[in-house]
Amino acid sequence: MTFPANPFKPTAGVMPPVLIGRESVIDDFDEGLGDGPGAPDRLMLITGPRGSGKTVMLTELGKMASKHRWMVVDETASEGLVDRLISRIAPEPSRIAGVSFKPSIMGASLGEFSIAPALRPSTLRDAMSARLHSLGKGKGLLITLDETQDASIDDMTALATAAQHMLRENAEVAFVFAGLPSLISDLLNAKVLTFLRRASIKELGDVPLTEVRAAFSSTIRGSKIDIDDEALDIATDATGGYPYMIQLVGYHMWRHARRRHDGPDDAITVEDVRDGIEQARAKLGEGVCAPVIKRLSERAVDYLEAMAIDDGPSATSDIAKRMGESMDCANIYRQRLIDEHVITSPTRGRVDFAIPFLREYLRSLKRG
C-alpha cells in the first residue's frame, strides 16, 4: 500500500481534517440561526491568539449558515471595508443613494465605488434590507469579519450602527466578528465597544489534550496508518493544545513516516513523532515567532527575554529589575508590546505572552 496523502493542514485559514474542541461554538451558532431573530448567538465575537483557529471557525460558521440557506458575506478588515460590504450586499449597487462610482478607464466599473462617510451606516442598512427582501422569506444574511482589530473606528462605527438597527428590527441577520483578544481592551470608540461587549463572546483557547489525542488517533488510524499509544502520547503532549501546532506536528510526523516508508508496515513510529516535533517547533519559530521578534526594537526583545525567565505571567516590577530599568522606562516597552499584540496584561502589574510558544522560542534562542 502506498502511504496516503498528508491529511494535516498547517496553513493559516485552511480547514484542518478535524476541527478539534470547538463543538460548543458551532452548536451555539447553529442554535442561534434556528431560534430566529433575537437569539444571542446571532451576534458573536470570536477572540483568540494567532493560530488559534479564528479564520477556520468563520469558514465553519459560514458553512453552517449556508446549510440554513442563508447568504454569507465574508470580509477581512482593511481600508474601504464598509464600501466593500455595501457593494457585495446590495442587490443593485447602482441604485443606492449616496453612491458615487469611481471613474474607471473602460467606463463601467465593477463595484468600485465610494460613499460619503456620513451616509455609510444608513446605506449599509438599506443594502442589507434590500438584500433580505430579494432573498425572500426564511432566508437570512450572515456577515463575517476577520481581523476585526485592524478595522478603522469609522468602519466599525458604521457597521455597528447598521447591525444594531437590523438586529433591533428583528431582521434575519447574523454577525460574527473575529479578532485578537486585545481587541476587547483596545481603545475602540466607546459605542463600538458597547456593541461588541454585548455580543456572545467566544474565546478560542487551547484544545483539551484528550480531544487532540482522539483526533490524531482517528485521523491517522482512519487512514489505515498504525500509530502506537506511546507515539500518540508524545505527539499529543507536544502540541500543548495549540491548534496551529496540532497541524504542524501532525503534518511533520506524517511526512517523516512517509519518506522513510519502504515496506509493508504503514506506521508512524516514535522516531517519526520525535522528528516531526522538532520540525514543527522549527516551523512555528520561523513562521510565527521570528517575524514578530524581527519587527521589535532590541530593548523590546530584552523585555520579552526577561519575561521568558518565568514559567507563567511575570510581575512587571521583576521585569524592570531584570532589565536594570526604572518602572517608568520598562512600562514604555510594556505598552509597545501590548499595542503590538505580543503580550497581554492579565491583571494589574502582570504581563504574559499573547503568542503561544513565544516563551519557548525565546528560550531556544538563548540556548543557541
Ligand X SMILES: Nc1ncnc2c1ncn2[C@@H]1O[C@H](COP(=O)(O)OP(=O)(O)OP(=O)(O)O)[C@@H](O)[C@H]1O
Residues contributing to the site for ligand X (CB under 6 A): 9-14, 16, 19-22, 48, 50-56, 243-244, 246-247
Show the CA angle centred on residue 66, arms to residues 64 and 69, nearest 5°: 120
User: 298-308 and 316-323 are packed helices; what angle lies between their axes, rounded to 10 degrees?
Assistant: 120
> For residue 168, what are the contacts with CB-CB under 8 A and spacing of at least 6?
none
Which residues pair with residue 43 across a beta bridge? 175
Q: Shortest gap between Cβ of 146 and Mg ion (angstroms)?
A: 6
Establish if 148 lies at the interface with Mg ion (CB under 5 A). no
Minimum CB distance to ligand X smaller for 249 or for 319: 249
Q: Which partner, ligand X, Mg ion, none, binds residue 14 by CB below 5 to 8 Å per kind?
A: ligand X
Q: Which partner, Mg ion, ligand X, none, binds residue 243 by CB below 5 to 8 Å per kind?
A: ligand X
Between residue 240 and residue 299, which ones bind Mg ion under the rule CB under 5 A?
none
Minimum CB distance to ligand X smaller for 49 or for 93: 49
Q: Shortest gap between Cβ of 113 and ligand X (angstroms)?
A: 29
Q: Shortest gap between Cβ of 10 and ligand X (angstroms)?
A: 5
Q: Which three cell numbers stand for residue 282?
A: 522549527
Q: Which three cell numbers stand for residue 327?
A: 518602572
Q: Which three cell numbers stand for residue 42?
A: 446571532
Q: Shortest gap between Cβ of 263 and ligand X (angstroms)?
A: 31
Q: Shortest gap between Cβ of 120 and ligand X (angstroms)?
A: 26
Q: Which partner, Mg ion, ligand X, none, binds residue 246 by CB below 5 to 8 Å per kind?
A: ligand X
Minimum CB distance to ligand X smaller for 64 or for 162: 64
Candidates 251, 257, 244, 261; CA nearest to 219 is: 251
Between residue 19 and residue 58, which ones bind Mg ion under the rule CB under 5 A?
54-55
Show the CA angle centred on residue 179, arms to residues 34 and 243, nearest 5°: 85
Which residues pair with residue 47 across a beta bridge? 179, 203
Q: Shortest gap between Cβ of 179 and Mg ion (angstroms)?
A: 9
What whole-number distance in Å separates Cα of residue 42 and Cα of residue 33? 7
Q: How many CA atoms lie within 13 A of 28 on its CB side?
A: 17
Q: How many residues bind Mg ion (CB under 5 A)?
A: 2
| Contacts to Mg ion by CB under 5 A | 54-55
